[in-house]
Structure 1
Amino acid sequence: MKKQTAGRDAFGEFAPKFAQLNDDVLFGEVWSREDKLSLRDRSVITVTALISKGIFDNSLKYHITNAKNNGVTGEEMAEIITHLSFYVGWPNAWAAMPIAKEVYSEEK
């Protein structure tokens, strides 16, 4: 996984500690523990958590793209969201599906 700089890019001057925790701890230390969970599994878990919490901003698109880059196919993502719909609510799944469709349609 490449070194994350999104936190520093977005908030480095305003909130340097928050930026450092995002880039170095969350994406540096936690996401790099591939001996514990694969990047693919971490992506599925993260997408699931965001949809469950009703977070449909650019972070969901980022993590769906990340899941795609980590080997989750479009068919699998559609099935993940379909499965989630019965546990996290149809409106959450409905809101997530077009984001996933957009991410996976970019590969064609």
Structure 2
Amino acid sequence: MTNKRPEFEGERFEKGLRIRRQVLGDAYVDRSIAAADDVSAPLQKLITEWCWGEIWSRPGLERRMRSVLNLGMTMALNRSAEFRLHVRGALNNGLTREEIVEIILQGAIYCGVPASLDAMRSARAVFAELDEEADAG
């Protein structure tokens, strides 16, 4: 997908966009970029360049480990929409469903039962969506 916004250009943006697509998938990234308007475009630029282009590209941690961290942090913050997104990313980065469930169980002790219940609901919903997509496709 090509977006004609001038702020969505440059080497750092392209690097981040490539990694963001690899982890989260083209469909999600395309929707995020296409939905950017004058208000939200600066945030999309920041996320793509710094989160994905700078942090996710660093050599110190493998993407798999970054996914583990993101699942734990989004669970702890009780950010279910981001948790769901990062369940998909974690699967794309090589985690198994069983490992994701174990992360949620670990988080139940450190983040609390309400956070773990919400995370488990989110993970199950993503697993079901992926199963439906696989059956349809």
Task: Report the TM-score range of the alignment, normalised by the length of the smaller protein.
Answer: 0.7 to 0.9
Distance 1:90 1:30 in 2: 30
Q: What TM-score does the superposition give when structure 1 sets the normalisation length?
A: 0.84
Aligned identity (percent) is 28
- Give 5+ residue unaligned stretches, structure 1: none
- Give 5+ residue unaligned stretches, structure 2: 1-16, 21-28
1:1-108 equivalent positions in 2, closer than 5 A: 2-4=18-20, 8-33=33-58, 35-57=59-81, 59-105=82-128, 106-107=130-131
Q: 1:37-96 CA distances to partner (integer Å, 9 max, x unpaired)? A: 111111110111010011112x21111100011011001110110011011000100011
Q: What TM-score does the superposition give when structure 2 sets the normalisation length?
A: 0.68
In 2 relative to 1, CA 45–103 (structure 1 residues): closer, same or farther, beyond 3 Å?
same
Compute the RMSD of aligned alpha carbons.
Answer: 2.1
How many residues matched?
Answer: 106
Hey, which of these two has a bigger chunk of helix by percent? 2
Distance 2:73 2:67 in 1: 10
Q: CA deviation at 1:12?
A: 4.3
In 2 relative to 1, CA 66–37 (structure 1 residues): closer, same or farther, beyond 3 Å?
same
